[in-house]
Amino acid sequence: MTPINLADKLASFANHWHPRIVGQFNGHDLMVVKVLGEFVWHDHPDTDDFFMVLSGELFIDLPDGTVTLRPGEVFVVPKGVQHRPRAEVETHLLLIEPAGTPNTGDPATAGVKPHI
């Protein structure tokens, strides 16, 4: 058992919007991701969506407004709520979600989340 260094994990890849699994916790994937620009509008019908900003600034567009997150801040989008994350500067996030959750809310359009 060794600690997970999130900065080292983030330094190991350059792609945006492609989460990497760095560990697991009670059936949940712990992931890091780099984001820049806009992701697609989507929802997760069966699970909440957890975001924690490690560096940068994240905007989460919701049907009734936008939430802004800065380093050290956390926001949970309730299941079933449409949302679109976006970032104007490269932003690093920690994501936690049940293992196997598709990042777009739809298995047909979801990206692969490799372990690093």
Provide the CB-side half-sphere exposure for 66 (13 A, CA).
12
The verdict on residue 47 lying in a domain is: yes
Does position 111 have pLDDT exceeding 70, yes or no? no
The verdict on residue 111 lying in a domain is: no
The verdict on residue 67 lying in a domain is: yes
Instruction: Identify the pLDDT of residue 107.
Output: 60
CATH for 57: 2.60.120.10
Does position 74 have pLDDT exceeding 90, yes or no? yes
The verdict on residue 61 lying in a domain is: yes
The verdict on residue 112 lying in a domain is: no
Q: What is the pTM of this model?
A: 0.91
Instruction: Identify the pLDDT of residue 104.
Output: 59
Q: How many domains does the chain have?
A: 1
What tens digit of pLDDT does each residue of 21-46 get?
999 999 999 999 999 999 999 998 99
The angle at the Cα of 31, spanning 10 to 49, to the nearest 5 degrees, equals 130
Q: State the Cα–Cα distance between residues 5 and 27, nearest whole angstrom.
A: 20
Does position 103 have pLDDT exceeding 80, yes or no? no
The verdict on residue 38 lying in a domain is: yes
Domain assignment of residue 10, given as a range = 6-98
The angle at the Cα of 36, spanning 33 to 41, to the nearest 5 degrees, equals 85
Three-state helix/strand/coil letters over 57-88: CEEEEECCEEEEECCCCEEEECCCCCEEEEEE
More confident residue, 99 or 58: 58
